[in-house]
Homo-oligomer: A and B are copies of this chain.
Amino acid sequence: MAKGVNKAILLGNVGKDPEIRSTASGTIVASFTLATSDRTKDQTGNWVDQTEWHNLVAFKRTAEIVRDYVKKGSKIYVEGKIQTRSWDDKTSGEKKYRTEILVNELSLLSGRGEGESGGGGYQRSGGSSGYDQRGSQAPADDYANSAEITDDDIPF
């Protein structure tokens, strides 16, 4: 009776190769971004392409599918839950928010081979944090340090 509905339905293109991590307890986690593009009229009546970026997270079996089949450029359909996590920024002391889509349904729309052009290595190595995704530096670090996903964040 107290059950609400919290559902996101998205169809778009993946911005970067997904980040794959594991929690302390061994749960696999995939993080990636999705661009949904729209053609809307602006104030002057012109058609403008408008792109919205979404932060997606997937766990367990869904994360494995992401790891194995989703890459930069992939077109996917996704259903998920909208979640906002918050943490206290260590340096500024301010509260920060990050909204993510917890993916629970995923459909691959690019054929095999489509999506990524580079055939070679997926060099997703080094210091790439995977959250440095809006041209912001400090926030990414901050997020990585203060708001890393822990087992407590996982809803199962």
Q: State whether A83 touches B52 (Cβ < 8 A).
A: yes
A8 to B156, CA, bound (A): 23
What is the distance, in angstroms, from A129's C-beta to the closest C-beta of chain B? 14
Query: In the complex this chain forms, how many copies of it are found?
Result: 4
- From residue 1 to 50 of chain A, which have CB atoms closer than 8 A to chain B? 1-13, 35-43, 49-50
Q: Is A144 an interface position by the 8 A CB rule?
A: no
Q: State whether B10 touches A9 (Cβ < 8 A).
A: no
A-to-B contact residues, CB < 8 Å: 1-13, 35-43, 49-50, 52-54, 69, 75, 77, 81-84, 86, 89, 92, 94-99, 101, 105, 107-109, 111-112, 134, 136, 138-139, 142, 151, 154-156
